[in-house]
Structure 1
Amino acid sequence: MLIDAHCHLDFPDFDADREAVFERARAVGVTHFVVPGTTRRRWPGVLGLAARDDVSVCLGLHPYFMKEHAEGDIERLAQALEDHPEVVALGECGIDARFADTLDDQWRLFDAQLRIAKARRLPVVIHCVRANDRVAKRLRQLALPAGGLIHAFAGSPEQARAFLDLGFVVGLGGAVTFERAKRLRRAVVSLPDDGYVLETDSPDMPLAGHQGERNEPARVAEVCRVVAGLRGQAPEAVAANSTATARRLFRL
């Protein structure tokens, strides 16, 4: 059994065949899906998916979509989390340092969301691009009680250890399938069995050999096989470990 710990199944990329996407995933052993929120406009679609027994959802404000966020969204997020106890985490939130022009606003938005998560004792799903050390420093300062997920981790073994020491786990997805990702692959080997979850970031983060294609949760099974090969473990063991960690993190 596998859990796709991060997939954007609310996105319009899946509007034409969403049920078929679920069926293909189930056919390869993916039985549960965690869907994060990205903008206030998309929260209703995310919450709609939460009606399914095989979907858990998060709500947050993603740093990639800074132009879509508006004044008052933080207050609306806090209210939505109060109104929807079925939400398992706050996210996707975080820092994307590729966008220097919005970086100050990203940090303000990120800090506000971290404080909500701390107050509500919710885990946090974090998008962290080119900012691992700075994000780890901020998380250390805030000491979040429920930890969280560093989604699409692409750092070093040392950076992975820093997040683990803070009570977080790292998300492994399509990036690990590329042979050139040598630093990340070293980090994968270094992780404890309870230090990671598997994810696809569908429809994004395509696997090696699938560049330019829409990603989907069925491919978490291929991520599992690659991670197992890197770690010298059976795919069944990696699947069991990642599933147990996702269940613990999100209280599934």
Structure 2
Amino acid sequence: MFLIDSHCHIDKLNYHSLHRDVTDVMNKAKIRDVRLILAVCTILPNFDNMTAFIGRRDDILFSCGIHPLNINEQPYDLFELGRIATRENVVALGETGLDYSSNKQENKALQQEIFREHIRIGNEQNKPLIVHTRSARDDTIAILREGKAEKCSGVLHCFTDDRDTAKVLLDIGFYISFSGIITFRNAELLRETARFVPLDRLLIETDSPYLAPVPYRGKENQPAYVRDIAEYMATLKNIKLEKLAAATTANFCRLFHLDEQLNSL
């Protein structure tokens, strides 16, 4: 069986007391059939440090992006974003998007500008988008449509919205990714949405080190726990785990332009 963690901040895991190094993290994952992860960058100046820390590995791919909550905290260079995106091991643009959850919303226009630039670069380079949205549903959808994001496609990661929102994103050509939130007791509306999303447009993720699934809630998340999310999702969709794993792996490979066989892993 082959599972993929489609969204992980592996450089932010606890390497002081929980893991020896990245190889230790990946060994724990592979014991549970999680054989590939996508390491997501959210602060562009940290990208080179992140990739140097992880090293060159066949079992970890990268994305590069500017998270909407980081645009005031760190310098950003959209030319540099486009340059980094051309690298062979960078398979996506993001994490990008809109986040209006903060009380300080004076940077809405800047968030939107940077989001549009991610879409433009994604379309130019034919690299999909990893989109974050919080309290910004309408603007997120409007900018995706305006930028013709269906050209490069993408995924709405850590999805927490309703069925109607999922339908709009599916119509745009996007994939929907669910995290450990799907296992939380108060997430029944999200589970209804997960049942609605077609199997051929579904991804799973940990968003490590955040949002550990039940029964690890409250602890640090890690790529190995995508197995728990997969098991939960398979039960939710009333299919065998092996079918869920095969579908989400094929979806990941299709979206990110990879060999579906991944024989080297």
Instruction: Please indicate the TM-score interval, normalised by the length of the shorter structure.
Output: over 0.9
Contact 1:39 1:68 in 2 (8 A): no
- Separation in 1, partners of 2:223, 2:253: 17
Contact 1:58 1:88 in 2 (8 A): yes
Percent identical among aligned pairs is: 30
Offset of residue 207 of structure 1: 1.5
- Does structure 1 residue 97 correspond to structure 2 residue 103? no
* Code of the aligned partner of 2:37: F
Task: State the secondary structure of the residue aligned to 1:143.
Answer: coil
- Deviation digits for residues 28-83 of structure 1, max 9, x if unmatched? 00000111111122201343336100111111111122233325x1111112223x
* Code of the aligned partner of 1:41: P
- Does structure 1 residue 160 correspond to structure 2 residue 166? yes
TM-score normalized with structure 1 length: 0.93
- Does structure 1 residue 37 correspond to structure 2 residue 38? no
Contact 1:46 1:57 in 2 (8 A): no
- Does structure 1 residue 53 correspond to structure 2 residue 54? no
Counterparts in 2 of 1:1-252, with a 5 A limit? Answer: 1-11=2-12, 13-14=14-15, 16-17=19-20, 18-48=22-52, 49=54, 51-70=56-75, 73-82=77-86, 84-99=87-102, 100-144=105-149, 145-252=151-258
- Separation in 1, partners of 2:36, 2:13: 20
Task: State the secondary structure of the residue aligned to 1:138.
Answer: helix
Offset of residue 120 of structure 1: 1.5
Contact 1:127 1:151 in 2 (8 A): yes
Further displaced range: 100-109 or 54-63? 100-109
Structure 1 unaligned regions, length at least 5: none
Further displaced range: 127-136 or 231-240? 127-136
User: Quick one: structure 1 residues 50 and 170, their matched pair in 2 at CA, closer, same or farther if it must change by over 3 Å?
Assistant: farther
- Separation in 2, partners of 1:210, 1:103: 35
Task: State the secondary structure of the residue aligned to 2:108.
Answer: helix
Question: Going by fraction, where is helix more abundant, 1 or 2?
Answer: 1
User: Quick one: structure 1 residues 14 and 140, their matched pair in 2 at CA, closer, same or farther if it must change by over 3 Å?
Assistant: farther
TM-score normalized with structure 2 length: 0.89
Tell me the matched-pair count. 250
Structure 2 unaligned regions, length at least 5: 259-265
- Separation in 1, partners of 2:8, 2:25: 11
